[in-house]
């Protein structure tokens, strides 16, 4: 029979003109439309609960979340939604769509919070799950569609990104919308689906910039390979031009507003930015260079726990690669996997837009595993999942036997107990499956055959919610600067006037949680004009090397009281600086020039920090030790707080006027 230009055979939808699928599709009898709708709504409800669990219960995590949250906050405070800004300066790394979404959600509350920053990602995650269901249902029928959404929701990388304020989940949603619109267009050839396709492409460009072109271009190239005549109606040139016009309608005015230049200069900036984002990131390794085999290792980890099904699904996909539906999904996955493996810059979330196709492929292959005569494979998969649950149950208690035992809290026992309970449930399910097989009841094998997938999805959902309420807040206690920034935030919210600095690092999380702009100091290389000729080759790299050696040397110098070092401790610190620079740089003239320039910068900042007017400083202890060499004894600076944040400790230092202001509050 025919519905909306799509042929349905054995509950599986096929595009007109495509050959019948070569793989057997055995499914239970189709439930009524109302039952299917209820099952779909249940899937979305579970997804919303799991992805949205405790999203406001822990801080925005560096590097991206606090930076993007601060940009959205500055949009709300300034009313300028054209030019993204962070710390009052234009931000050119990402287009504005994610900031607009967060600002729109946060505006009714007057500020950006952890919850309002992450709500758009949760909604986008649920939307991706709904689209995965639609694609899986269109290609393979309702049951596979449900499992496509369930597997996508419960894969490790998607779960993390769908509850984080980053651009990658937004890009994944845009790519999926493009794919859905294209599939709908292949069925009906209606213009409205072309409009939806290129609108999704334009949204992707506003979400991520030029990299948003990669997935659609690779997919369409693979999909129409050796049958380009079928692509004539796509109007690719017109559609791409329309998507670019949509982006340039924001980009050029935004750049002109920043630069105040003519149209030609703004257009040049567009080309330069596109070159840097595409060529620089993907091919010259300006950001996150990784080896070619990176995704061979990373994807199985990011797909957990569904990696357990890959030994079955990968051979299944290869055997059925000529099936039209499977080929469509492989056109989505394989070119992207190859392209990003070849490119120099790699991060695990770069492949996130391909994960929905992976989820659908896993769901379809796992359906054969569940409904066929593959009891041995099902038992192996369940036993592997039991082993994973055992590791998860033991891990919190094993932490007590490591050097990180100070991270353990009784709350972790709840996660371990939940994992052990899931393990016992899995063992009970194995026993039940064995009984069903021995009884050889009609129809029961098909129902119990789904038990590996059901167990994994159920257990993941339970453990994910517990992780959101227990594990993430525990990590946050060591990762977040919120407590360290609290004195400064309190003053900012009271409307007090003061200066704020950060020395040696640039993380925007300190701006977000201080609610105050800060000035970066002691974080740049120096011009060193006295160094000439060949000695200037790789000068920045040489300075970075000397700076790292200097910081490591200062780490090893004990200072009993960082607020007031003794004269002997100052002498030891000065000697450590000289020794570190000369042992690192073989050219004495360069080492002397760097010591002179960095010392002058430290002295200039100390003079600025101690001048009248309240001032506060975020700095690492090792860099504070360097400043102590230039701090006058009567400066009366005090360390207000010291917190371990990530792998380093950070100090909050106040000058004399800052102490008076803080004491007054």
The string of pLDDT tens digits covering residues 269-314 is 545 555 555 555 555 555 667 788 888 989 999 999 999 999 989 9
Weakest-pLDDT range from 300-304, 414-418, 470-474, 632-636? 632-636
For residue 323, give both structure tokens.
Answer: 């099936």
- Say whether 289 sits in a helix, a strand or coil: strand
What was the pLDDT predicted at 279? 56
Q: Does residue 450 sit in the same domain as residue 574?
A: no
Burial grade of 442 (CB within 10 A; 0-12, 13-18, 19 or more): exposed
Note the pLDDT tens digit of each residue in 226-261. 888 887 888 899 999 999 999 999 988 888 888 754
Kindly tell me the sign of the dihedral angle through the C-alpha atoms of 509, 515, 519, 521.
Answer: negative
Lowest mean pLDDT among 279-288, 392-401, 595-604: 279-288
What pLDDT does 387 receive?
93
Checking if the pLDDT of 375 tops 80, the result is: no
Using CA atoms, how far apart are residues 110 and 474, in angstroms rounded to an integer? 28
Predicted pLDDT at 28: 43
Both tokens of residue 570?
């100052």
Query: In which domain, by residue range, is 463 found?
Result: 375-479
Q: Based on the domain organization, do 498 and 586 belong to the same domain?
A: yes
Q: Could you give the CA distance from residue 625 to residue 551 in angstroms, rounded to a whole number?
A: 9
β-strand partners of 499: 615
Is the same domain home to 47 and 181? yes
pLDDT, residue 442, reads 46
User: Which range has the worst mean pLDDT, 44-58, 271-285, 569-583?
Assistant: 271-285
Nearest to 122 by CA among 108, 148, 101, 92: 101
Domain contains 61: yes
Nearest to 56 by CA among 409, 468, 507: 468
Q: 176-181 — which CB contacts under 8 Å span 24+ positions?
A: 176/128, 176/131, 176/132, 176/135, 176/353, 176/356, 177/131, 177/203, 178/204, 178/215, 178/216, 179/131, 179/135, 179/219, 179/332, 179/357, 180/131, 180/134, 180/135
- In the numeric block, the tokens 């769509």 are attached to 97
Do 547 and 613 have their domain in common? yes
Over the chain, what is the mean pLDDT?
85
Mean pLDDT across the stretch 573-588?
86
Q: Please name every residue paired with 113 in a beta bridge, in sequence order, or none if there are none.
A: none
In the structure, how many helices (H) and strands (E) does the chain have? 28, 10
Percentage of the chain lying above the pLDDT 90 cut? 49
Residue 441's pLDDT is what? Answer: 52
* CA separation for the pair 655, 498 (Å, rounded): 11
Whether residues 409 and 322 share a domain: the answer is no
Question: Does 10 fall in a domain?
Answer: no
Chain centre distance of CA 300: 17
pLDDT tens across 508-547, in order?
Answer: 899 999 999 999 988 888 888 888 888 778 888 888 888 8
Last residue of a domain, one of 371, 400, 432: 371
Tokens representing residue 402 in the block = 């490591």
What pLDDT shows up at residue 565?
83
**Where does the pLDDT of residue 354 fall: very low under 50, low under 70, confident under 90, or very high at 90 and above?**
very high
The tally of domains found in the chain comes to 3
Is residue 549 helix, strand or coil?
helix
pLDDT at 29 over 70: no
Domain assignment of residue 7, yes or no: no
For residue 118 the two structure tokens come to 């992450």
User: Of 437, 457, 479, which closes a domain?
Assistant: 479
Q: What is the DSSP string of 182-243?
A: HHHHHHH--HHHHHHHHHHHHHHHHHHSGGGGHHHHHHHHHHTTT-GGGGGGG-HHHHHHHH
Are 532 and 609 part of one and the same domain? Answer: yes
pLDDT above 70 as % of the chain: 88
Looking at the fold, whether 234 and 87 belong to one and the same domain comes out as yes
pLDDT at 88 over 70: yes
Instruction: Give residue 339's pLDDT.
Output: 93
156 plus 170 within the same structural domain: yes
Residue 68, pLDDT score: 95
Who has greater pLDDT, 238 or 507? Answer: 238
Q: What local confidence, expressed as pLDDT, does residue 27 receive?
A: 46
Q: Residue 91 in contact with residue 85, Cβ under 8 Å?
A: yes
Residues 216-222: contacts with CB under 8 Å, at least 24 apart: 216/175, 216/178, 218/335, 218/336, 218/339, 219/179, 219/182, 219/331, 219/332, 219/335, 219/336, 220/182, 221/335, 222/330, 222/331, 222/334, 222/335
What's the pLDDT at 440? 59
Q: Is 3 among the domain residues? A: no
Last residue of a domain, one of 338, 371, 404: 371
pLDDT score recorded for residue 429: 84
Cα angle vertex 517, ends 485, 541, to 5°?
A: 95
Give the pLDDT confidence of 139-183 residue by residue, as tens digits.
999 999 999 999 999 999 999 999 999 999 999 999 999 999 999
Residue 268 has pLDDT above 50, yes or no: no
- Statement to judge: residues 46 and 137 lie in one domain: yes
User: Residue 651 is inside which H or E element, if any?
Assistant: strand 648-654
Per-residue pLDDT averaged across 44-61, rounded?
A: 95
Per-residue pLDDT, 206: 94
Per the DSSP assignment, residues forming a β-bridge with 549 are none
Residue 237 φ then ψ, to 5° = -65, -45
Most confident region among 467-476, 565-574, 638-647 by mean pLDDT: 467-476
137 and 196 share a domain?
yes
Per-residue pLDDT for 500 more than 90?
yes
What's the pLDDT score for residue 19? 35
Q: Are residues 441 and 452 in the same domain?
A: yes
User: For 321-353, how does the pLDDT look when each residue is reduced to its tens digit (9 = 90+)?
Assistant: 889 999 999 999 999 999 998 988 788 889 999
610 and 473 within one domain: no
Tell me whether residue 316 is in a domain: yes
pLDDT at 10 (0 to 100): 36
Inform me whether the pLDDT recorded for 447 exceeds 80. Answer: no
Write the pLDDT tens digit of every residue in 171-227.
999 999 999 999 999 988 888 999 999 999 999 999 998 888 999 999 999 999 888
pTM for this prediction = 0.87
Rg (CA), the chain: 29
Give a yes or no: residue 20 inside a domain: no
Check if the beta carbon of residue 170 is closer than 8 Å to that of residue 101.
yes
Residue 17 domain-assigned? no
421 within some domain: yes
Weakest-pLDDT range from 283-292, 496-505, 579-588, 648-657 = 283-292
């Amino acid at each position: 029979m025919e519905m909306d230009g799509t042929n349905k055979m054995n509950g599986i939808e096929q595009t007109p003109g495509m050959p019948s699928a070569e793989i057997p599709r055995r499914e239970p009898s189709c439930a009524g439309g109302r039952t299917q709708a209820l099952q779909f709504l249940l899937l979305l409800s579970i997804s919303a609960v799991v992805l949205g669990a405790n999203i406001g219960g822990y801080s925005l995590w560096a590097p991206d979340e606090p930076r993007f949250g601060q940009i959205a906050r500055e949009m709300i405070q300034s009313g300028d939604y054209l030019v993204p800004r962070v710390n009052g300066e234009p931000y050119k790394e990402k287009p504005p769509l994610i900031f607009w979404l967060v600002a729109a959600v946060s505006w009714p509350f007057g500020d950006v919070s952890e919850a309002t920053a992450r709500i758009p990602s949760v909604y986008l995650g649920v939307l991706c799950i709904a689209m995965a269901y639609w694609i899986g249902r269109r290609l393979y029928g309702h049951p596979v569609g449900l499992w496509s959404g369930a597997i996508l929701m419960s894969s490790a990388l998607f779960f993390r990104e769908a509850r984080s304020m980053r651009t990658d989940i937004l890009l994944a949603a845009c790519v999926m919308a493009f794919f859905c619109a294209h599939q709908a267009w292949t069925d009906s050839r209606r213009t409205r689906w072309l409009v939806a396709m290129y609108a999704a492409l334009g949204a992707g460009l506003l979400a991520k910039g030029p990299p948003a072109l990669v997935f659609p271009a690779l997919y369409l190239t693979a999909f129409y390979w050796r049958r380009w005549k079928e692509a004539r109606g796509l109007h690719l040139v017109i559609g791409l031009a329309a998507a670019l016009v949509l982006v340039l309608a924001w980009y050029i005015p935004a750049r002109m507003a920043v630069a105040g230049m003519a149209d030609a200069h703004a257009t040049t900036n567009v080309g330069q930015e596109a070159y840097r984002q595409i060529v620089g990131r993907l091919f010259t390794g300006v950001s996150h260079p990784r080896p070619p085999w990176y995704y061979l290792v990373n994807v199985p980890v990011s797909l957990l726990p569904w990696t357990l099904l890959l030994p079955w699904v990968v051979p299944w996909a290869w055997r059925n690669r000529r099936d039209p539906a499977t080929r469509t999904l492989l056109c989505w996955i394989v070119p992207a996997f190859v392209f990003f493996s070849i490119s120099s810059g790699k991060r695990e979330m770069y492949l996130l837009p391909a994960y929905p196709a992976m989820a659908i492929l896993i769901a379809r292959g796992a359906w054969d595993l569940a409904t066929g005569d593959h009891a041995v494979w099902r038992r192996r998969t369940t036993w592997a999942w039991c082993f994973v649950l055992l590791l998860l149950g033991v891990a919190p208690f094993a932490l007590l036997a490591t050097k990180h035992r100070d991270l353990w809290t009784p709350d972790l026992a709840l996660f371990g107990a939940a994992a052990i309970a899931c393990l016992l449930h899995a063992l009970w399910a194995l026993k039940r499956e064995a009984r069903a097989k021995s009884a050889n009841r009609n129809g029961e094998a098909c129902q119990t055959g789904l038990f590996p997938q059901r167990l994994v999805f159920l257990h993941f959902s339970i453990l994910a919610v517990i992780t959101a309420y227990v594990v993430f807040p525990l990590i946050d206690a060591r990762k977040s600067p919120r407590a360290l920034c609290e004195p400064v935030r309190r003053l900012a919210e009271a409307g007090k006037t003061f200066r704020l600095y950060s020395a040696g690092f640039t993380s925007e999380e300190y701006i977000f949680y201080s609610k105050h702009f800060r000035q970066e100091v002691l974080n740049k290389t120096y011009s060193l004009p006295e160094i000439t000729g060949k000695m200037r080759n790789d000068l920045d790299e040489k300075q970075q090397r000397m700076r790292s050696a200097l910081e490591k040397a200062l780490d090893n110098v004990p200072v009993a009281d960082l607020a007031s070092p003794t004269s002997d401790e100052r002498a030891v610190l000065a000697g450590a600086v000289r020794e570190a620079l000369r042992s690192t740089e073989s050219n004495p003239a360069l080492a002397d020039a760097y010591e002179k320039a960095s010392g002058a910068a430290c002295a200039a900042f100390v003079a600025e920090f101690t001048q009248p007017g309240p001032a506060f400083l975020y700095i690492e202890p090792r860099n504070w030790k360097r400043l102590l060499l230039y701090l006058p004894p009567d400066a009366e600076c005090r360390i207000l707080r010291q917190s371990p944040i990530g792998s380093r400790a950070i100090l909050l230092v106040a000058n004399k006027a800052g102490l008076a202001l803080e004491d007054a509050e």
